[in-house]
Amino acid sequence: MREISASILSANHTNLAYDIELAKRHGCNSIHVDVTDGHYTSELIFGVQLVRDLTEATDLPLQIHIAALDQERIIQPFLTTKAESITFQFEPALHPERLIRKIRAHGKRVGIAITPATRYEQVEYYLDEIDVINVLCVEPGEGGQRYNEKVSEKIRKIRAYLDRNQLKTRLAVDGGVNQKNIEVLRDLGADVFIMGSAIFSGA
């Protein structure tokens, strides 16, 4: 089943509960929360208290994406929240296997995110151990960016690999996803469409 996840990075941060309810009424299946440290990314956004509050404010599942340098430390408090899943950024992860085990041990679904420049072969080893591979179609940490067409071939290759090996790992696309390209991304094989500006700003 295909899924639309609303990224609150592009929502009105002074009225998140309202925007999330609006996203739900328009058919979104989950909420995507980016957590960044201002070091790996240029911006510092969202923290564990917000995640705790949002799990009480909505019944939509929360999917956390950690894009930070010291991921092992930053992930720790999120493990005890009611978030459904935690995705970590592959590039700064020193011990991906350890992060996978840690997240899984707390009963959460596990994802790995890769930037536009990262070749999917670098994470191929882990694809049978995770629940979702999140292909970033823009650089992490800033909303409203334009979809990078160079990523399309990578999405197609990952879909082929997952199907060839009969893996149930879901393929998510994140960044620049909108009403104009969502059908193309679906045809390339994406399962989960993470959308921010297209939902909250109509972009």
Q: Which of 34, 37, 131, 191 is catalytic?
A: 34
Distance, in Å, from the CA atom of 25 to the CA atom of 18, rounded to the nearest integer, reads: 11
DSSP string, 40-99: SSSSEE--HHHHHHHHHH-SSPEEEEEE-SSHHHHHGGGGGS--SEEEEESTT-S-HHHH
Supply 2's token pair.
Answer: 């295909």
Q: Is the dihedral of CA 71, 140, 86, 162 positive or negative?
A: negative
Is 34 catalytic? The answer is yes
Q: Which of 19, 37, 174, 191 is catalytic?
A: 174
Cite the active site residues: 34, 174
